[in-house]
Amino acid sequence: MTRPLHHKLATMLGVVYPELDAPALAARLLETMGLADDAAAPPAHQNNWDESDVMLITYADTVQSAGEKPLKTLLRFLDDCLSDTVSVVHLLPFFPYSSDDGFSVMDYLAVNESHGDWEDVEAIARRYKVMSDLVINHMSARSRWFENFKKRIDPGKDYFFEARPGDDLSAVVRPRTSPLLNAVQTEDGERYVWCTFSEDQVDLNFANPEVLNEFVGIIRYYLERGITYFRMDAVAFLWKEVGTPSIHLQQTHELIKILRLLIEHHTPECVVITETNVPNRENLTYLGNANEAHVIYNFSLPPLLINTLVTGNCRHLKTWLMSMPPAQMGTTYLNFIASHDGVGLRPTDGLLDEDEKQRLINTMESFGGKVSYRRTPDGKDQPYEMNIALFDALKGTAEKGADHWQMQRFICAHTVMLALEGIPAFYIHSLLGTENDYDRMENTGRFRSINRAQCQIDRLETQLADPQNHHHRVFNELKRLIAIRRRQPAFHPNATQFTLHLGLQLFGFWRQSMRRDQSIFCIHNITSETQEVSLAEINLIGTDHWQDLISGMAVNDLSGSITLKPYQSVWLSNRD
């Protein structure tokens, strides 16, 4: 009897666990996932998205109302304000946690009682596609598994990665400055556990196949509650080996393939997204051969786009865009310019030189931002990310400081993001135009809290209803642009994209629908000065009728030019 899924899974497992009985382990994982070992494969290179897909990134408790669980308030806000705007909701970790605003999970199978319950999550999943974090690299030091690790009992006894102070850890790559190893007193003596991120976030040991089986069960539980997008948090660090950098190891890539294989056989429309905040070339490897992540974050976009808009020079952004390979069918990019984390600087390695990075850092600090650091293998501390609300990050330029173009610059950034190849993702505080939250940062003592404000729904609704309020203007203009984007086949995440060469003050690219029945020339003035665009230079086809989708302006004289005000964008399309 042919069992293609079982055979394929066993082959993958043999790479990760060469000393184990891979066919037996494969059979066990299939049972845990509830799959027959001859289950049919989903269609190859299937795009589980189109131009109408737009993601919202939010914490479960960002929007609050007195006397109501935040997940219920969030659904009400989504239905009242965003039902025609977003299709995917990334619910940042909504589990019981002990630190890091949810990313130190105590129980993967429970919903934080202060947020709501599984029925609330399922209610959102019935109306929107929901992305959940799979916090797969580490777990809370206050979890039951870790308590069992200290007691030396199962489940948990061998679930966490250990090393010794005398081991050669000099090559390990980390995003933090805290100690890598943490001494823990257990029932059989002192042990040293590996903590990539913090003492409270203890790395799991995937060399133990029991840990893999546990996560397969966790994934199935999420699938059965309607979750269809899985964000694999910090997955680049998943497999550790003493004497290596312990990042991007081959076993990590194989484990992603294994989990994707199981997920898509269970629910073919599911999407796996890897979160790897690393230099661009390293990040691209997580697409594999269309057999690892369906989607990867475009981590270089936020710092490069911010740098472009505060310097008025698109050279580095254009160079990066030209270097990006078109995603294979069945894969794409997640475009974002703000999130719950800071603006990563490692993704600019090889794209900005050190002086340019420092100038960008200095500019963000002058606009009220902070800088977080990481420790390199040689023991030095280097800037890792800039912590700032995007609205404040774009309040001025590097040369002249704050100015009166903040709103236009902010909208321009999102107009670029909306048009690029990939799925656009809006952090809720960018959609609302939220400023730096200094009070929250001081209360928590963490720089990242500067961009993690919490909103009372009554006050938010008042702000969004007031035409004089910048929150109202940001929210409504971004919604208008999103509505335009969602109607354009040329903005399909996998539609053709080519970079235009219009000098350093105009950033442009061309998109063409997969049926070749629509072209859109996306041109953005990234400066505080008026710019002229020669239409002859972009070679619009004379037999087509062209108009700007954003303003509705018809383009009649194809041999002439158009004038772009500071930070103005046009989407010139041959269909409306």
**How long, in residues, is the chain?**
576
Report pLDDT digits (tens) over 175-226. Answer: 999 999 999 999 999 999 999 999 999 999 999 999 999 999 999 999 999 9
3-state secondary structure of 97: strand
Q: Which CA distances in Å does 375 have to 180, 242, 320, 535, 557?
A: 10, 18, 26, 49, 57
Tell me the two tokens of residue 495. 């539609």
pLDDT score, position 505: 98
Q: What percent of the chain has pLDDT over 70?
A: 100
Tell me the two tokens of residue 107. 């129980």
Who's near 171: CB < 8 A, 6+ residues apart?
Answer: 243, 244, 245, 246, 377
pLDDT band at 2 (very low <50, low <70, confident <90, very high): low
Query: Is 448 a known ligand-binding residue?
Result: yes
Closest CA relative to residue 227, chosen from 107, 94, 47, 28? 94
Query: Is 458 a known ligand-binding residue?
Result: no
Report pLDDT digits (tens) over 415-474. Answer: 999 999 999 999 999 999 999 999 999 999 999 999 999 999 999 999 999 999 999 999
pLDDT score, position 80: 97
Query: Is 553 a known ligand-binding residue?
Result: no
Query: Is 470 a known ligand-binding residue?
Result: no
Report pLDDT digits (tens) over 233-264. Answer: 999 999 999 999 999 999 999 999 999 999 99
* Phi, psi (rounded to 5 degrees) for 181: -105, 140
Q: Is the dihedral of CA 54, 59, 60, 64 positive or negative?
A: negative
Find the range with the poorest average confidence among 46-50, 333-337, 525-529, 541-545: 541-545
Report pLDDT digits (tens) over 282-331. Answer: 999 999 999 999 999 999 999 999 999 999 999 999 999 999 999 999 99
Choosing from 133, 200, 233, 437, which is the catalytic residue?
Answer: 233
Average pLDDT value for the chain: 96
Closest CA relative to residue 451, chosen from 403, 406, 385, 405? 385
Report pLDDT digits (tens) over 100-114. Answer: 999 999 999 999 999
- Alpha helices (runs of H) in 438-502, residue ranges in sequence order: 438-444, 457-465, 470-485
**Can 158 be counted among the known catalytic residues?**
no
Query: Is 138 a known ligand-binding residue?
Result: yes
Tell me the two tokens of residue 344. 């990563």
Q: Could you give the CA distance from residue 306 to residue 527 in angstroms, rounded to a whole number?
A: 12
Q: Could you give the CA distance from residue 401 to residue 388 in angstroms, rounded to a whole number?
A: 16
Report pLDDT digits (tens) over 112-127. Answer: 999 999 999 999 999 9
Tell me the two tokens of residue 566. 């500071």
Query: Is 100 a known ligand-binding residue?
Result: yes
Contact call for residues 75 and 120 (beta carbons, < 8 A): yes
Report pLDDT digits (tens) over 49-98. Answer: 999 999 999 999 999 999 999 999 999 999 999 999 999 999 999 999 99
Q: Could you give the CA distance from residue 506 to residue 569 in angstroms, rounded to a whole number?
A: 10
Chain position carrying tokens 């996932």: 33
Q: Could you give the CA distance from residue 114 to residue 305 in angstroms, rounded to a whole number?
A: 37
pLDDT score, position 3: 79
Residue 347 DSSP label: G
| CATH 2.60.40.1180 corresponds to the domain 496-573 | yes
pLDDT band at 11 (very low <50, low <70, confident <90, very high): very high
pLDDT score, position 148: 98
Segments making up each domain of the chain, as ranges: 496-573
Maximum CA extent, the chain:
82
Report pLDDT digits (tens) over 457-516. Answer: 999 999 999 999 999 999 999 999 999 999 999 999 999 999 999 999 999 999 999 999
Q: Is the dihedral of CA 452, 88, 131, 124 positive or negative?
A: positive
- Alpha helices (runs of H) in 350-421, residue ranges in sequence order: 354-366, 390-393, 406-419
Residue 235 DSSP label: G
